[in-house]
Homo-oligomer: A and B are copies of this chain.
Amino acid sequence: MTATVSASISPAQVSHRVVPIDLPLATGTRSYDIVIGDKLLAETGKLIAGRLGQRRCLIITDSNVAPLYQKRLEAVLASAGHAVLPALVVAGGEGSKDFASLQKLLDQILASGVDRKTLILALGGGVVGDLAGVAASLAMRGLDFVQIPTTLLAQVDSSVGGKTGINTAAGKNTVGAFYQPRLVVGDVSLLDSLPHRELVAGYAEVVKYGLIKDAPFFGWCRTNGARLLNGDREAQIYAVGVSCEHKAKIVASDERETGERALLNLGHTFGHALETVTGYGQLLMHGEAVAIGTVMAFKLSARLGFCPHAEVYDVHDHLAEVGLPTAPPKFAYNIDQLITLMTQDKKAEGGKLTLILARGIGQAFVSRDVSAKEVRALWEDTLSA
């Protein structure tokens, strides 16, 4: 299986696609590829050797993923001529994104036999990618790293774009770095080991790209979303590829989120407020919160006269159809608290909030003057429905 460069977005028969990401600005040292395909884990040793040369490799993974893929990855790396250091395994779950885990991981990395040329491989979902990314950025003032995301959410979102982070008392991802990987390997066959609920939750971030800037892709999702979620490889490769292409373009134009990158927060300001009050637990997964928040953002856009009501229904119906929640789960919400969280999330000024709204499907924009009153009314209607 050889890599082919495909920059165009077409639902052709692709078993494998490469999305080049070019960052001329902030971390602008280099471009890197996001390679997407079926059974790519088996190719990872060669993909790395071809792009980055033979390296000493240090795998960082978590206790959920290690039993599934660690030994396979080690074997694949060794057979491509890389030296493989003993893998480091962190505890699964968001709890590992804290300062104590970061310090422990850095001490382990530095004691593991790394040198300045060693490659860190983050094998796992968003937690592993975020934590290993911060650690890679700091160990010896920065080691090269490769993302091998094992969840749909990580494949289409968190593994691309260089945001790394841990959580502190001040909030989620308040400590971290913009630190780009050297390569992202998106093997859709790894999604088979994902609980169905988590796969569906990740799909909310796929739909998001269509809603932000690609109405035809939203159309494709309506036709093919169920197929993707049922494990169709072609649909998965296509959707992950399109998602990564959009994210790569947005990140390349605005790595540090001073402008366009904010569009990626569609649905997230509402969603983060819900995640925070519900405790980031099993009641509401991140992608589910994004789905709910996206519906709310479209509703608000329609109420404010930006977006036709019919398109709100289109968004709502597709998310509901694949099994995503479109309204908050039952919980003792406090609307004041939700609004306070939203204003902290993106800085309010004089009773106005900054939110991502839409003029229609594929036409998201940043609005900096949404009145808190309108947002309150929306929460009231949403929670009483």
Contacts and interface: CB of A to CB of B under 8 A. Distances in A.
Given A25-B29, A28-B28, A165 B178 contact: no
Interface residues of A, number: 34
Interface in A157-194: 163-165, 168-171, 173-178
Given A25-B28, A26-B27, A29-B28, A106 B175 contact: yes
Contacts of A168: 106-107, 110
Contacts of A134: 138
B26 A178 contact: no
Interface string A95-112: 000010001001100110
Contacts of A164: 141
A366 interface: no
A369 interface: no
A320 to B, nearest CB: 34
B107 A138 contact: no
Interface in A17-39: 25-29
Interface in A252-292: 256
A370 interface: no
Interface in A114-167: 115, 134, 137-142, 163-165
A347 interface: yes
A141 B170 contact: no
Interface of A: 25-29, 99, 103, 106-107, 110-111, 115, 134, 137-142, 163-165, 168-171, 173-178, 256, 347
